Amino acid sequence: MDIGVIGCGNMGGGMVAQLLGAGFGVRCFDPDPATRLRMADTGAQTTDTATELASLCDVIILSLPKAEIVTAVMNDIAPHIRQGAIVLDTSTSVPATSQAMSALGEQHGFAFIDGPVSGGPAAAIAGTMTMLLGGDTDPIKRLAPVLDILTAKTVIVGKSGAGHAAKIANNMLCAANLVLVAEAVRLGEAAGVNAANLLDGINAGSGRSGVSEVNFPKWVLNDGFDSGFTMGLMRKDVGLALALAKDTGVALNGFENIADIWLNQSPSIADAADFNEIVKQGDTND
């Protein structure tokens, strides 16, 4: 199986490392020459263009910043993709883009699967990501040897676009929970409860979440703020949730106020900062 990765930054680079470690031959393309050089140093083969990579691979993994770039790359490489190949889009994209790219695949004889991931760069490097899959079941089954290397858990959530819809919903909850757990901690501390003890109580009860169980102990309480996922990326995801709600006619009455905190009420927290730093926002208003 010839595997190619387009977009070899933190997430894509982590996936390349996992695949190489498992004995797969991997080709890489990234528009940044320095990143291509770094990938070559890991033992991956590199190509000078995405179209060259597409013509050589049976499985093409996309790890790109946003839906518009997914569309541009796919329109560029589609005529060059092998018949019967599978494109796995691990980017945080949008359902409509995945559906359009799936239709493009039908025209050109390849399968397009949306498989956005959770866990951040650390999970990509460790091969412990969670992947939410949308698309036809046959190509997903054919991807099993690759998915077993890259992920600790995969969930097939539906047809094309379903994976990205589920990822947007997941990140919407993560964004909301960061704000809400921070408020809960401030409330507990104001009442004389130590933050770590409060979280122990919450995590033993019905209010627990990934944020209270992982983010706060790992990146917040120790002032680490080094998860590898930025404020700018989460702001983008918050915007994706609002846009999807508008497109589908769904009211997000509770989330809209929290979205406003991310998008408008936290200008002092730079896009380059760790996304967990949103917990500091309430402190700036004291």
Express each pLDDT in 165-186 by its tens digit.
999 999 999 999 999 999 999 9
* 155 and 133 inside one domain: yes
* 13 and 33 inside one domain: yes
| CATH number of residue 231's parent domain | 1.10.1040.10
* 247 and 269 inside one domain: yes
Question: Quick one: average pLDDT of 104-118?
Answer: 97
Question: Quick one: average pLDDT of 223-240?
Answer: 95
> Which of 144, 159, 174 is the C-terminal boundary of a domain?
159
* 194 and 154 inside one domain: no
* 203 and 101 inside one domain: no
* 87 and 143 inside one domain: yes
Per-residue pLDDT at 1 = 85
The string of pLDDT tens digits covering residues 11-60 is 999 999 999 999 999 999 999 999 999 999 999 999 999 999 999 999 99
Is 167 an annotated catalytic residue? Answer: yes
The active-site residue, picked from 167, 218, 236, 280, is: 167
User: Does the pLDDT of residue 281 top 70, yes or no?
Assistant: yes
The string of pLDDT tens digits covering residues 197-215 is 999 999 999 999 999 999 9
* 129 and 205 inside one domain: no
Q: How many domains does the chain have?
A: 2
Per-residue pLDDT at 285 = 45
| CATH number of residue 106's parent domain | 3.40.50.720
> Which of 134, 159, 184 is the C-terminal boundary of a domain?
159
Domain that holds residue 280: 165-284
pLDDT band for 121, please (50, 70, 90 cuts).
Answer: confident
Per-residue pLDDT at 88 = 98
Cα–Cα distance for residue pair 21/15, rounded to 1 Å: 10
Structure token pair of residue 102: 């799936």
* 26 and 153 inside one domain: yes
* 210 and 264 inside one domain: yes
Give the amino acid at 69.
I
> Which of 159, 183, 200 is the C-terminal boundary of a domain?
159
Cα–Cα distance for residue pair 1/12, rounded to 1 Å: 18
User: Does the pLDDT of residue 265 top 70, yes or no?
Assistant: yes
Structure token pair of residue 32: 């940044």
* 59 and 169 inside one domain: no
CA distances in angstroms from 149 to 22, 108, 111, 164, 251, listed in the order given: 7, 28, 20, 21, 38
* 210 and 114 inside one domain: no
Per-residue pLDDT at 74 = 98
* 9 and 138 inside one domain: yes
